[in-house]
Structure 1
Amino acid sequence: MRVVFSVSNWPGHWFSMVPLGWALQAAGHEVKVLCTPCQSEPITHAGLMPVPVLEAMDMTVRGRLHNYRKARAGTWAFTGLPPPPLTGQPLTSLDEFDMDTWSKENHDWAIGVTARSCDAAVDFARWWQPHLVLNDLMSLEGPLVGRALNIPALLHLWGPIGPQDDVPGAPPGASFVPMDPSNAFARHHAGQMGPEVYQHVIDPSPPTAHPPLDAHRIPIRHIPYNGPGALPPAPASYHGTKPRICVVWGTSVSGVYGPASFAVPRIIEALADLDVEVLLTLTGADRERITQSGPLPPGVRLLERTPLHLLLPACDAVIHHGGAGCTMTALAAGIPQLAIHAGSDQEVIADRLAGVRAAQSLPNAHADPHAIRTAVRRLLDDPVHRRTATQLRQEMTTLPTPAELLDTLTALAH
């Protein structure tokens, strides 16, 4: 069986699909991953075969444009201005970026990017003739290929968020379903793009916290994949009496939401008053911000790049930005979590888990050290969070593994 994955241009959107790709390959099926060129290296590192024919607007720029619109509409949550969409440098006034002019000047370019990407995906699929398509929630090309070639296209969720969820801060009814501005579906005689194209959805979230779906839900056990890396010296051999808190922060948050969204200093200050051990995992510019700000407090250990699933089983709680990768890895480890979210899918995921008492949810703009400290104390002191996290982990272990899902996928393909 030939299976094509279609993924958007951010690793966190497709990391949850990697173990299913491994299972397909191990069973002798062929897997190829349609992607943008910037995803070729991480896909190769994941042990899959990239086909870098897609195009897309940079995800950081796309996020900044959305935040700039929110600031103009008066719904920007932070006290300062959002980073300008193109440069990321601080603004002194919203007038420094002419959104209307930029949109007019780049309208044809943006439409062309989507059109070329969709056409390239269909062209490759017509040549390779896959039997099945799997795509993440941000991929327009996956369902298009399925409709254009009349083959099953399955949406693979990256966490407890789906196409029926509303986008926070957007007009009522706005969902995470990608739009089709170039009318690619019509051009390829594939009908129209909308929520109805998702007939089968692979959902790795635990049943207690799964998102609403109108489609046929296909559960799958989440096997954590957080990218390549090595186990640090003896974190799992820790036998102290203090609770251990892992703090992990997404590299995209500051780039999309600006320096004010970098909550790690606030988190460190909050935890300094608690008798806990802290594992701090940061990369890139975030790591430099912390190392250049002076020595860390006692009990805080800064780790090199380490896959999160290697750390969390030895922790009592985790604090993160609300990203699906962190959330699902914590769920698989069965530990409570504090999500300090800045918006979009992070907010939906954080609030969904907080609603079932597996997590605490804090808006980033309002998460001062006192609020963070209070939330962490609740995670550690109220046993309901630990019980719920354990329950959700047990639910996830009963779901079919990627290897056990292959018969279902084969039946759909035939």
Structure 2
Amino acid sequence: MNQTMKALFVPGNSPYPVFSHAPLATAVRNAGHQVLMGGIEWLLPNIASVGLPPVKISPISVEEVQAFMGTMPEDPDEWARAVGRVYAEIAVNSLDALLELADHWRPDIVVGGGMFYTAPLLAHHLDIPSVRLEWDRIDTRMYDPGAATVLAPVLAELGLERLPEPDLWLDVCPPALQPENPLPARPIRWVPGNPQKPLEPWMYAKGERPRVYITAGTRLFSGDALRDLAKSIAGLGVEVVVGAPENVAADLRDALPDVRIGWVPLDVLAPTCDLIVHHGGGGTDMTSLNAGVPQLIANPEYPTRATRTVAAYGAAILIESGGHEEITAAVQQLLTDPSYRERAQSVSREMERMPTAATVVAELERLVAERG
């Protein structure tokens, strides 16, 4: 395709989808096309940080997102329905802003995240192709029941019985970890991304001792519990790095003088790690797999099929409920049994062989050309 196309990316409602979509958006722009990325208000700095032009599609603030997260139900099924409802509400509420954008900058194609229902709705309004790009290995179809009730009246107005299927579905899950009922999607290689900062040599250089990285993402990994866990793991003779926001890190540094604590770009640090301990987040999981590093998934906020799959494959241990003694024992097992690293590295090699974002650009161009 010689003609320049306009591609609109609307990845999702949190920073991680922005970073997961950035490689494809950048590849499209590097091929000579125009790219905009839409997001709710609090995501615009994240979009700008990856060098892409941000467009506000909804005035939702970070305070509103935090308020919603604070009222999330604990039951996993109810949790998924609640998330689906909110994403569907944002999709409906953002349509007017996107249609107004299209009056001045009409996209030729729209790329949305796995449960960002905005993309297929906008594509239907504009009669343009839509692409669904998954963020990680979590099967986002589990959110659709919650979205259905919100989307039903909108779809009825459009004369649709259900949300239109994407013209192209892209899946980042490596073959070894595919579920029994895989997505009807084309594979694409996942590339790590996160906010950056000026690097110090220790962040990209491996030391003499095994390195264990702990994220501070759940109730367990905060305050006293995080301090006790880091001390316990450090007692194994390993180097401990704790990734934590500054408000948490400041309180911990005095109690843990031998532990590096604070924000570290995980895409840089991960290849130097021997183990990554986290709460089941999709970005941390994919970054670990990409680097071929075993994982300990401890007290996950929502033990999904994806977390259980990587444990069953032998590249991780999953502790659905446990204290720091149990976690420390699992750390010891993961560091001394080489099979976990071997399995993680086999997945990493698979990911390296998956088609890159640059190879997908031609498919987007073909979709636009066929639609005319």
**Alpha-carbon distance change, 110 to 228 in structure 1, aligned in 2, over 3 angstroms:** closer
CA distance in 2 between counterparts of 1:261 and 1:184 reads 45
CA distance in 2 between counterparts of 1:275 and 1:41 reads 40
Measured after TM superposition, the shift of residue 356 of structure 1 is 1.3
What per-residue deviation string (whole Å, max 9, x for no partner) do you get for residues 197-221 of structure 1? 3453211221111356675412111
* Letter in structure 2 aligned against 1:186: A
**Relative to total residues, which structure has the larger helix share, 1 or 2?**
2
**Alpha-carbon distance change, 126 to 161 in structure 1, aligned in 2, over 3 angstroms:** farther
Q: Which residue of 2 aligns with 1:295?
A: 255
CA distance in 2 between counterparts of 1:201 and 1:111 reads 19
CA distance in 2 between counterparts of 1:217 and 1:110 reads 22
Please state if 1:327 is matched with 2:247.
no
* Letter in structure 2 aligned against 1:398: R
| RMSD (CA atoms) | 3.2
| Structure 1 counterpart of 2:6, from 2, 5, 10 | 2
CA distance in 1 between counterparts of 2:159 and 2:285 reads 35
Measured after TM superposition, the shift of residue 184 of structure 1 is 3.0
What per-residue deviation string (whole Å, max 9, x for no partner) do you get for residues 351-402 of structure 1? 2211211111122xx2201210122122112222111100000000001111
What per-residue deviation string (whole Å, max 9, x for no partner) do you get for residues 66-123 of structure 1? 23x649x9x99xxxxxxxxxxxxxxxxxxxxxxxxxxxxxx9x999866432222233
CA distance in 1 between counterparts of 2:243 and 2:88 reads 38
| Structure 1 counterpart of 2:227, from 256, 265, 279 | 265
| Structure 1 counterpart of 2:129, from 136, 147, 152 | 152
| Structure 2 counterpart of 1:64, from 62, 70, 91 | 70
Q: TM-score, normalised by structure 1?
A: 0.77
Q: Which residue of 2 aligns with 1:35?
A: 39
Please state if 1:180 is matched with 2:139.
no
Q: How does 1:386-401 map to 2 (within 5 A)?
A: 386-401=341-356
Contact 2:41-2:60 at 8 Å conserved across structures: no
Secondary structure of the residue that 1:319 maps to in structure 2? Answer: strand
Measured after TM superposition, the shift of residue 38 of structure 1 is 0.9
What per-residue deviation string (whole Å, max 9, x for no partner) do you get for residues 219-268 of structure 1? 1111111122232233333341x211112223xx45xxx98798523431
Q: Which residue of 2 aligns with 1:101?
A: none
Identity %: 27
Secondary structure of the residue that 1:221 maps to in structure 2? Answer: coil
Q: Which residue of 2 aligns with 1:313?
A: 271
Q: Which residue of 1 aligns with 2:82?
A: none
Q: Which residue of 2 aligns with 1:191?
A: 160
CA distance in 1 between counterparts of 2:87 and 2:111 reads 25
Q: Which residue of 1 aligns with 2:317?
A: 360
Please state if 1:118 is matched with 2:95.
yes
Measured after TM superposition, the shift of residue 297 of structure 1 is 5.5
CA distance in 2 between counterparts of 1:307 and 1:397 reads 21
* Letter in structure 1 aligned against 2:101: F
Q: TM-score, normalised by structure 2?
A: 0.85
What per-residue deviation string (whole Å, max 9, x for no partner) do you get for residues 16-38 of structure 1? 11111111111111111121111
CA distance in 1 between counterparts of 2:225 and 2:145 reads 27
Q: Which residue of 2 aligns with 1:81?
A: none
| Structure 2 counterpart of 1:208, from 168, 171, 176 | 176
Structure 1: stretches of 5+ with no match in the other structure: 77-106, 168-173
* Letter in structure 1 aligned against 2:43: Q
CA distance in 2 between counterparts of 1:227 and 1:33 reads 17
* Letter in structure 2 aligned against 1:157: E
CA distance in 1 between counterparts of 2:151 and 2:344 reads 41
Please state if 1:410 is matched with 2:365.
yes
Contact 2:231-2:256 at 8 Å conserved across structures: no
**Alpha-carbon distance change, 186 to 125 in structure 1, aligned in 2, over 3 angstroms:** farther
Contact 1:122-1:144 at 8 Å conserved across structures: no
Q: Which residue of 2 aligns with 1:162?
A: 139
Q: Which residue of 2 aligns with 1:87?
A: none
Secondary structure of the residue that 2:202 maps to in structure 1? Answer: coil
CA distance in 1 between counterparts of 2:93 and 2:188 reads 33
Please state if 1:274 is matched with 2:236.
yes
Structure 2: stretches of 5+ with no match in the other structure: 80-84
Q: Which residue of 2 aligns with 1:129?
A: 106
Moved more, 47-56 or 111-120: 111-120
Secondary structure of the residue that 1:224 maps to in structure 2? Answer: coil
Please state if 1:23 is matched with 2:27.
yes
What per-residue deviation string (whole Å, max 9, x for no partner) do you get for residues 134-162 of structure 1? 11123221121122222221111111112
Q: Which residue of 2 aligns with 1:351?
A: 308
Contact 1:55-1:116 at 8 Å conserved across structures: no
* Letter in structure 2 aligned against 1:276: V
Q: Which residue of 2 aligns with 1:80?
A: none
Measured after TM superposition, the shift of residue 407 of structure 1 is 1.1
Moved more, 110-119 or 334-343: 110-119
CA distance in 1 between counterparts of 2:87 and 2:167 reads 28
Q: Which residue of 2 aligns with 1:385?
A: 340
* Letter in structure 2 aligned against 1:264: L
Please state if 1:248 is matched with 2:215.
yes
Please state if 1:229 is matched with 2:233.
no
Contact 2:214-2:276 at 8 Å conserved across structures: yes
**Alpha-carbon distance change, 295 to 261 in structure 1, aligned in 2, over 3 angstroms:** closer
CA distance in 1 between counterparts of 2:223 and 2:146 reads 23
**Alpha-carbon distance change, 357 to 55 in structure 1, aligned in 2, over 3 angstroms:** farther
